[in-house]
Amino acid sequence: MRAGRRLSIAVVGAVAAAVLAGCGDAGSSGTEAPEQGASGEGCAPVAGEQLIALEDDKSLQNADNIIPAVNSEVATPQLIAALDKVSAVLDTPKLVQLNKAVDVDRKSAQAAAQEFADANSLTDGVEQGPGGQITVGAGNFTESEIIAELYKIQLAAAGYQATVQQIGNRELYEPALEKGEIQVVPEYAATLAEFLNGKVNSGGQPVSSPDVDKTVTALRDLGEQVGLTFGAPAAAQNQNAFAVTQEFSEKYGVRTLSELAEKCSGTATVLGGPPECQERPFCKPGLEQTYGLTVGSFSSLDQGGPLTKTGLRNGTISVGLVFSTDAAYAQS
């Protein structure tokens, strides 16, 4: 499970659009018109291998853009600039491919990061900093490890002696970052903002939103109070996303969550995810309240894991919670 990540804070899905024939009347060019679930019937599952994430077109999820978190004592302009070069080129489709390189193609996180850095000329023109030892912390999941390795490559190019240390979840590595036991960690804007909000303000009103600028502004304000500085957010986000098979998308003409609600509300539609999805505001209740989706049944599976993805591919669930940067979205 991701370090400290939970269904209540996660964000907008990467969109892999299924392109449908669109000229003339439905079926006029020999293609079959997309089916729509009749009102109240819903959309039965459709088996298939390729998964796509439906577009969160009404911004149900918060802005969990990847952002470098740095202990303020070492946050020189050169260090921040080196890390920001990663943010400048990292978007969600690229992060999907990086996760695929490790989780599917079985490359090491170091190898995948080095190939990405070389392909994107990340170390070109990196300004030299004051040097010294820098430890980059990583959460205990693939994505965090890859980005930590990218940060290590950049810091080495800036003249630091950088190492990566896998620490575990946010409850472990965030205090270590504040204390300076580690100096840099790849983070998620909305999730960390709410984590720090809980520490600084004992929870209080939520400070994150679907607006990345507002979320990062709140994050920077909270960071100042605990000795953390942040670089620029990447376009890449890792959030709750709702996946269907390519075949489901094409059969029912569904590419967005609004279209899912419009065409697939009804008894045949099966939503799959972890048990807590039924109560968490950014999962089933959010789909109901923000989009007006009603489903016929809920299948209790896992949090974006193999059970949910297998359920989609085998045709036992119509739509499932699969995080937006999962390697399952990579085109084969």
Domain boundaries, the chain: 6-61+239-332, 66-230
pLDDT, tens digit, 9 for 90 and up, residues 79-103? 999 999 999 999 999 999 999 999 9
pLDDT of residue 294: 97
Span 289-313, mean pLDDT?
Answer: 96
Would you state the torsion angle of the CA atoms of residues 105, 110, 116, 122, taken in this order, to the nearest 10 degrees? 180
* Band of pLDDT at residue 332, cut at 50, 70 and 90: low
Between CA 288 and CA 271 the distance in angstroms is 12
Chain centroid offset of residue 199 CA = 24
Question: Would the CATH topology of 6-61+239-332 be identical to that of 66-230?
Answer: no
Between CA 150 and CA 126 the distance in angstroms is 13
pLDDT value at 237 more than 70: yes
Candidates 3.40.50.300, 3.10.105.10, 3.40.50.2300, 3.40.605.10; CATH matching 66-230: 3.10.105.10
pLDDT value at 32 more than 50: no
pLDDT, tens digit, 9 for 90 and up, residues 119-152? 999 999 999 999 999 999 999 899 999 999 999 9
Residue-averaged pLDDT of the chain = 89
* Band of pLDDT at residue 185, cut at 50, 70 and 90: very high
Q: What is the DSSP string of 136-154?
A: EEEESSHHHHHHHHHHHHH
Closest CA to 239 of 299, 181, 273, 282: 282
Q: What is the CATH number of domain 6-61+239-332?
A: 3.40.190.120
Span 247-266, mean pLDDT?
Answer: 98
pLDDT value at 115 more than 70: yes
